[in-house]
Amino acid sequence: MRVHGKIGVPWCITVIVSAVVVLAITRPAQAMPNFAQAYGIKCSECHIQIPALNAYGRYVQRTGYAGLNPHVLERESPVWIDYPVGYAQQSPSAASWDIGSLGVHADGAFGTENSEWTYHVQQWIWQQSQAGGLDTAWVAYNNFFDGSGHIFAGKLEVPAPSEFSQWFDVTGLSINSSAEMTVGEHTYELDANRWGYKFAYLRGSLDAEVSYVTSGADWAGFNDYDWTQDKTLQYKFAFANRGNPLEFGYYGARGSWPLTEGGFDQYYNNAFYAQRDPVSGVPGFLATYQMNHDSNPGMGAPASGSNGVSYELYDNIGSRGLVAVGEQLTNDGLGNHTQIGNVDASYHVTRFIILYAEEALSVGQKPTWNGLIWFALPTGPLWPSNLSPQ
């Protein structure tokens, strides 16, 4: 969503609520069912609630699956399918279903027992009943600095909290709106999958990541580095131990956004986050605070200092359910303020079927009801059971 010039608060909120409806039926819900099948483990080994990751799952994600044994993964096909069915309702007379989204994934590891090489590709075959786009396509080499260094290339997740890409809210509203804030002509892409390169160093409780990224387009974007693209250096430093439910850190970005009337908006961002998984009878939480500066927002607007804050509290209900409540506030520095809240609930029906529901709330607007049913289908063992690699 891009906003041109100054806008009033009610119109701004209307646009955001409309964007929520779109996000509710396009946001991917990702897990790795082939990994669970190959290892014979429950999804809860890596997830608070699919797709949200716990401390160990975040470690697996940050290392590009390097901790997994490729010989174990060979027991299961690397290809799997997911099919989200979305629902959105702004009023009793304005409700819609989306039954036209189908994604195909391929992910895994190869090399030695330490997974020297790993990869993940996700292609939407259909998305909102239309031809789908490329979500993810990266390969990583994981044998730098005695296995602590990982270099990624392709369309990859930028250095940011794992929750920006893997979360259980139907829209991701309470955590993603600041990361996607629009200031004049510039839309921040702090949670986007973009083409480029990333280096991650993880040792003990240290998580240090840096990337240089550009286009977020489909396959044609892999060499899209011309002057018309937003080019961003993004980085993250965090305390993140795979055995500790508490994680906190800093992430930031420095980039150059091309303006429609010529010239560039040189921008930078600084942000802090903290998260704790719900364990030992204590609810979990996630909080972020983000500060931005845009030297030239475009449309004749002056330099802008913007900020956003978000928080969410969540807890498990039994062994299959989860509830969450959150709020997000943004100020684009040009006179536009938003305040949006959400209440979410999800239920793990069976191994690869999950139900999600959400009530999104914004100032001066009626509540928006969103829902999602997520199906995953592993494509089966790679080898006959009597020939499975040991």
236 neighbors 160 (Cβ within 8 angstroms): yes
pLDDT of amino acid 389: 34
53 neighbors 61 (Cβ within 8 angstroms): yes
Model confidence at 101, pLDDT cuts 50, 70, 90, reads confident
pLDDT of amino acid 3: 27
Whole-angstrom Cα distance, residue 76 to residue 297? 49
Domain count, the chain: 1
Show the domain range for 99. Answer: 9-387
For residues 326, 331, 335 and 340, what is the CA-based torsion angle, rounded to 10 degrees? Answer: -10
pLDDT at 28 over 80: no
Whole-angstrom Cα distance, residue 158 to residue 254? 13
What number of residues does the chain have? Answer: 390
Single-letter code of the amino acid located at 61: Q
* Least confident interval from 206-220, 322-336, 368-382: 368-382
pLDDT of amino acid 24: 36
pLDDT at 151 over 80: yes
Residue 174 or residue 193, greater confidence = 193
Q: Quick: pLDDT tens for 65-76.
A: 998 889 899 889
pLDDT of amino acid 172: 60
Whole-angstrom Cα distance, residue 378 to residue 387? 19
Domain membership flag for residue 3: no
Neighbours of 361 (CB within 10 A): 16
Domain membership flag for residue 60: yes
Q: Quick: pLDDT tens for 299-338.
A: 889 999 999 999 999 999 998 999 999 999 999 999 999 9
Q: With a threshold of 0.75, does the pTM exceed it?
A: yes
pLDDT of amino acid 30: 55
pLDDT of amino acid 31: 66
Mean pLDDT of 69-89: 90
* Least confident interval from 33-37, 71-75, 128-132, 242-246: 128-132
Whole-angstrom Cα distance, residue 319 to residue 317? 6
Whole-angstrom Cα distance, residue 352 to residue 379? 13
pLDDT at 1 over 70: no
Positive or negative, the Cα torsion across 282, 246, 307, 23? negative
Which range of 81-90, 162-171, 251-260 scores highest in mean pLDDT? It is 251-260
Q: Quick: pLDDT tens for 38-74.
A: 998 888 999 999 999 999 999 999 999 998 889 899 8
**Domain harbouring 189, CATH code:** 2.40.160.10
pLDDT at 105 over 70: yes
Model confidence at 112, pLDDT cuts 50, 70, 90, reads confident
Domain membership flag for residue 130: yes
Domain membership flag for residue 321: yes
Mean pLDDT of 144-163: 95
Instruction: Report the Cα 340 to chain-centroid distance in Å.
Output: 19
pLDDT of amino acid 358: 94
322 neighbors 315 (Cβ within 8 angstroms): yes
Mean pLDDT of 339-362: 92
pLDDT at 2 over 70: no
pLDDT of amino acid 387: 38
Instruction: Report the Cα 347 to chain-centroid distance in Å.
Output: 20
The encoded tokens of residue 114 equal: 């330490």
Whole-angstrom Cα distance, residue 155 to residue 150? 15
Alpha-helix residue ranges (DSSP H) falling in 29-124: 33-39, 55-62, 70-73
Helix (H, G, I), strand (E, B) or coil at 22: helix
pLDDT at 21 over 80: no
The encoded tokens of residue 300 equal: 């004749």
Mean pLDDT of 163-171: 89
pLDDT of amino acid 382: 52
198 neighbors 209 (Cβ within 8 angstroms): yes
Domain membership flag for residue 2: no
Computed over every residue of the chain, the mean pLDDT equals 86
The secondary structure of 221-290, three-state, reads HHHCCCCCCCEEEEEEEEEECCCCCEEEEEEEEEEEEECCCCCEEEEEEEEEEEEECCECCECEEEEEEE
Mean pLDDT of 162-169: 90
